[in-house]
Amino acid sequence: MSGYSPSETARRSGFSLDTLRYYEKIGLLSDVGRTSGGRRVFTEDDLGWLDLFRCLRDTGMPIAQMCRYAELAREGDHTVAERRKLLEEHAGAVQDRMRLLQRQYDHLRDKIHYYKSITD
């Protein structure tokens, strides 16, 4: 079976080996291949899933929602609308957080500017 070792998959995905094991254990990654000796072998498809999980995790999607998305995707095309809705809701939450962070960043920059004005 060709593919990627766990260490190569960790390197390519940016996830730790422990995270890869955890994602497999909770069902985010399913049907990870095994060699005849029982070692895990990851495919390009697995790397694609991990790329999506990186995006979802980095943008704050809870694990339960990530699991729900993966479950829906495995159920087939009849779940496309529900998957889209889940991603749209998450994107809205990300956008809200980005607005908040921008306001807080602007506040910090104003404070820095103020301190510069009284110390320079």
Mean pLDDT, range 57-63, rounded to an integer: 96
87, part of any domain: yes
Residue 99: per-residue pLDDT: 98
CATH number at residue 24: 1.10.1660.10
Residue 120: per-residue pLDDT: 78
Residue 90: per-residue pLDDT: 98
Report whether 6 contacts 42 (CB < 8 A). Answer: yes
Please give the Cα distance from 98 to 89 (Å, whole number): 14
pLDDT digits (tens, 9 = 90+) for 65-91: 999 999 999 999 999 999 999 999 999
Residue 2: per-residue pLDDT: 73
1, part of any domain: no
46, part of any domain: yes
For 21-65, the DSSP string reads HHHHHTTSS-S-EE-TTS-EEB-HHHHHHHHHHHHHHHTT--HHH
21 has a pLDDT exceeding 90: yes
Residue 7: per-residue pLDDT: 96
Mean pLDDT, range 54-71, rounded to an integer: 96
- Nearest CA to 30 among 67, 64, 5, 56? 67
Name the region of 54 (left: φ>0; alpha: ψ -120 to 50; beta: rest). alpha
59, part of any domain: yes
Boundaries of domain holding 115: 6-119
Q: At what angle do helices 17-25 and 44-58 cross, to 10 degrees?
A: 100
Show the tokens assigned to 86: 């889940």
78, part of any domain: yes
69, part of any domain: yes
DSSP β-bridge partners for residue 103: none
11, part of any domain: yes
1 has a pLDDT exceeding 90: no
Number of domains comprising the chain:
1
pTM of the model: 0.85
The whole-angstrom distance between residue 48's C-alpha and the CA centroid of its chain comes to 11
13, part of any domain: yes
